[in-house]
Every structure is written in structure tokens, then in C-alpha cells.
Amino acid sequence: MRVLTVIGNRPQFIKASAVSSRLRADGEEITVHTGQHYDAELSQVFFDELQLPPPERLLGIGGGTNTSQTARMLAALEPLLAEVAPSVVLVYGDTNSTLAGALAAVQAGIPVAHVEAGMRSFDRAMPEEVNRVVTDHLSRLLLCPSAAAVENLRRESVAGEVELVGDVMVDVAKLLQPAARARTEVLAPYDVAPGAYLLATAHRAGNVDDPARLRELVALLLALETPTVLPLHPRTRARLVEADLLGALEQAAHVRLAPPLGYLDFTALLCNARAVVTDSGGVQKEAYLAGVPCVTMRPSTEWVETVEAGWNVLVDLDADAARAALAITPPAARPELYGDGRAGERVVAAVRALA
């Protein structure tokens, strides 16, 4: 069995860390890093901290529009697939790297396994949603994190085999959150105390690329008042500088700007926060797992179960709604929504069976 794994951005490195070493214990895996995220803060730190095997191939393809980036990845992957001749191509999530990996593989006649299949926000304006839908319809093996994802795929009558495996990010979070929670020294540079601050992240194209939306996002963050640690994604920082909005955040007494953080420091801040304010997919889920209420700066989410469970509130960019959501006490119950933390094992077993 030779698996070619295509990854390229921060959450994909985290997800792959639950699978790669297991896959390599009893088979061959060749990892291709597309270069979608290339800064050390968004890439190398995750390989180091999560013991992810270093990628065998680096494509160095970042930047540009979604279309041109995907096209360049396709062009680079075609000869690579011919050379490596894998029995399966494994892709994760919903990025340009996911779509390019899946499409190049199918065109080469190689079956695709998709981890995190079936997620839908039902918002086709999100580039991620388009990548998810197309990848799912190209895949031979669709590995779902939740029952809702399985149901989405049944409704769309996908051609591939659908399996509920649970969420690989849960594996990583369950493994690392307990120790991270104890590392309260990580809070010191931000001058915040456990349970008395917010952790915020924002980087979705729909929130940061349009200057009018970005202004609303900044207004929301400025309205929070509670101390707020804000690790800035490079894309967000660049857009804030272009729109001349970074200064407002730098000058706000309650906002503590940070660079993008490694997984262990970020998880320490997440587990000790009073609440999380985010537009990230992964962070909504990790907040739920940590028992930290989440306010999501999006009009929709693919992680609907966290909303239904009462732990996540969608506020889009409405500052008043965000403040109201932060005042809600979440319910006592926090059922296991995305599996038991053993999704990685199931992914490996299913990929082996396919190969």
C-alpha cells in the first residue's frame, strides 16, 4: 500500500498528525506539502510540535487567487502522481490543496480518500464550501466526522463509499488539551488570568478580504471590552494594514495582539479562556471539546451540532449580538458530538481496505 497524502495548510497539518504516523507504521506514505501555508508559524511549528513526519515533497505553491493557486497545484501534481504511482490519494478538509489533490488523482485514475467528508455550511459563497462539495463527489472513500455529514452525503447521492469515522481533530484535541490546560504560564505575556479573557481568531476570506466587512469585524472586536487575546493570521494582518485598521486594534487597551501561535500555546489559551470569538471551523469544535463557549463571526457553520448543543452562537459581524451571546451561560450537558478520539485508527483501517 502506497498512500500519497496532499496537505498544505495549518488545520491540515493538525489533522494529518492523527493519521500519518499510524499509516507509516504498516505501509508507505508519501506526503506532499503544496505550500499553501508556508510561513514557519503556520507550517513548521505544527510538524515539530505534533510529530508529523516531514513532507517528502514540497511544491512551494502559495499566494494568488484560489483559481490560479488550484491550477498551479494541479499542474505540479500531475507528473508527481505519475512518478510516485500511489494506490490511494488521501486529502483532508476543504482547501485548494484538497480539491487539487482529489482532482489530479481522479484524472490519473487513482482512488481518493477524503477525511472530513460531508461537511456543509450550505453557503456557496465560501470557497471552502465549493472545495468540499466537489471533492466529495470525486472521492471513492468519504470519511465523515459526524452523522450530519453522512446524511448530507446521502442527500447528495455521492458515488463513493461513506463511512462515519469521527473527527481526527478530536483525536489531537483529546490527547493534548488536558496538558495544555495546565500550562497557564502561556497566559502571562498577555497579562490575562484563567477564565477572565477571550481568545479571538479571524481569517475567513469573507470577513477579511472586503474592507467594509473587515471594518465591521474590527468594530466587533473593539466592542468586546473584556481582555481579548488575538493571534493574527498573516492574511488578516496584511488586510488590516492595507485598510489602515491595525492601529485601532493596537491601541485598544483590552486587545492583546499576538503572532500566529503553535498548537500547544494556542490550545493552552483556548482551554483557559472564558469564551472564544472566531470565524475558524476548527476552533469552534475545539472550544466545544474544551468546554469553552464559542461565538462565531459567520452567518453559517458546518459544525451545526455545536450550535444545537447550546455552546456556539452564530452572530456574523453583529457586535451587539456578540455581546449578548457572550452573556449566555451554556448548558451543563456537552455530549460527544464528533467521535471518541479514535478517528485516526478508523481512517487508517478504511484507507488500507481501499488500497
Residues contributing to the site for ligand UDP (CB under 6 A) = 10-11, 14, 201, 203, 231, 260-261, 263, 266-267, 280-283, 286
Least distance (Å) between residue 280 CB and ligand UDP: 3
Backbone angles phi, psi at 172, to 5 degrees: -70, -45
Helix crossing, 96-107 with 127-138: angle to 10°? Answer: 30
Cα–Cα distance measured from residue 96 to residue 69, given in angstroms and rounded to the nearest whole number: 7
Cα–Cα distance measured from residue 70 to residue 3, given in angstroms and rounded to the nearest whole number: 21
Backbone angles phi, psi at 84, to 5 degrees: -80, -30
Q: CB-wise, 266 or 288, nearer to ligand UDP? A: 266
Cα–Cα distance measured from residue 280 to residue 311, given in angstroms and rounded to the nearest whole number: 15
The cell for 191 is 497579562
Least distance (Å) between residue 235 CB and ligand UDP: 9
| Residue that is written with C-alpha cell 474544551 in the block | 290
Least distance (Å) between residue 100 CB and ligand UDP: 16
Query: Is 37 annotated as catalytic?
Result: no
Strand order in the sheet with 198-201: 255-258, 228-231, 198-201, 275-278, 294-296, 312-314
Strand pairing of 57-58 and 88-92? unpaired
CA angle 258, 299, 217 (to 5 degrees): 35
Q: CB-wise, 127 or 231, nearer to ligand UDP? A: 231
Closest CA to 54 of 101, 94, 7: 7
Q: CB-wise, 237 or 254, nearer to ligand UDP? A: 237
The cell for 214 is 473587515
Residues belonging to the chain: 355
Q: CB-wise, 274 or 352, nearer to ligand UDP? A: 274
Least distance (Å) between residue 31 CB and ligand UDP: 18
Least distance (Å) between residue 297 CB and ligand UDP: 11
- Of the chain, the end-to-end C-alpha distance in Å amounts to 6
Residues 6+ apart with CB under 8 A from 261: 41, 231, 269
- Beta-sheet strands, E only, within 23-180: 28-33, 57-58, 88-92, 112-115, 141-144, 161-164
Least distance (Å) between residue 7 CB and ligand UDP: 12
Q: CB-wise, 29 or 279, nearer to ligand UDP? A: 279
Cα–Cα distance measured from residue 68 to residue 268, given in angstroms and rounded to the nearest whole number: 37
Q: What is the DSSP letter of 252?
A: -
Closest CA to 22 of 354, 263, 346, 341: 346
Catalytic residue among 33, 203, 233, 254: 203
Q: CB-wise, 86 or 206, nearer to ligand UDP? A: 206
Catalytic residues: 203
